[in-house]
């Protein structure tokens, strides 16, 4: 006795399950992506608070980088250690230097 298999029905059911799984994965991906975007916004806000808090303490010459760009004799730009903060990026005196 041979069994009759409804190939079309089996494949259609399998295709439906795949589509449902794909949709569930897509929804989870969208949810996870939204969570990451929210966390990224919170980090950006925290970084902005930190940047605003340290601004008064940064060297005015190099703006906190510790390096300045200078033009050499050939006209090329080079990075040099900031002569004001000596590469720290932080104001070095108690008088809050203004000589730039």
Residue 64 vs residues 48, 57, 59, 69: alpha-carbon distances, Å: 15, 8, 5, 13
- Return d(Cα 89, Cα 3) in angstroms, integer: 81
Tell me what pLDDT residue 10 has: 94
Q: Are 39 and 59 in contact (CB under 8 A)?
A: no
Tell me what pLDDT residue 11 has: 96
- Return d(Cα 13, Cα 21) in angstroms, integer: 12
Tell me what pLDDT residue 9 has: 93
Domain boundaries, the chain: 1-57, 58-100
Split the chain (100 residues) into runs of 10 and give each run's mean pLDDT: 82 97 97 97 96 91 92 90 92 60
- Return d(Cα 65, Cα 45) in angstroms, integer: 21
Tell me what pLDDT residue 75 has: 86
- Return d(Cα 27, Cα 34) in angstroms, integer: 11
Tell me what pLDDT residue 4 has: 80
Tell me what pLDDT residue 74 has: 87
Which residues neighbour 88 within 8 Å (Cβ) at sequence distance 6 or greater? Answer: 59, 66
């Amino acid at each position: 006795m041979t069994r009759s298999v409804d190939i079309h029905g089996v494949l259609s059911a399998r295709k439906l399950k795949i589509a449902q799984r794909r949709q569930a994965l897509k929804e989870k991906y969208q949810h996870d992506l939204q969570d990451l975007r929210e966390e990224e916004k919170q980090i950006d806000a925290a970084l902005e608070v930190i940047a605003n808090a340290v601004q008064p303490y940064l060297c005015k010459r190099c703006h906190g980088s510790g390096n300045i760009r200078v033009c050499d004799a050939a006209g090329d730009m080079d990075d040099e250690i900031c002569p004001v903060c000596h590469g720290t990026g932080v104001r070095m005196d108690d008088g809050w230097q203004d000589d730039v």
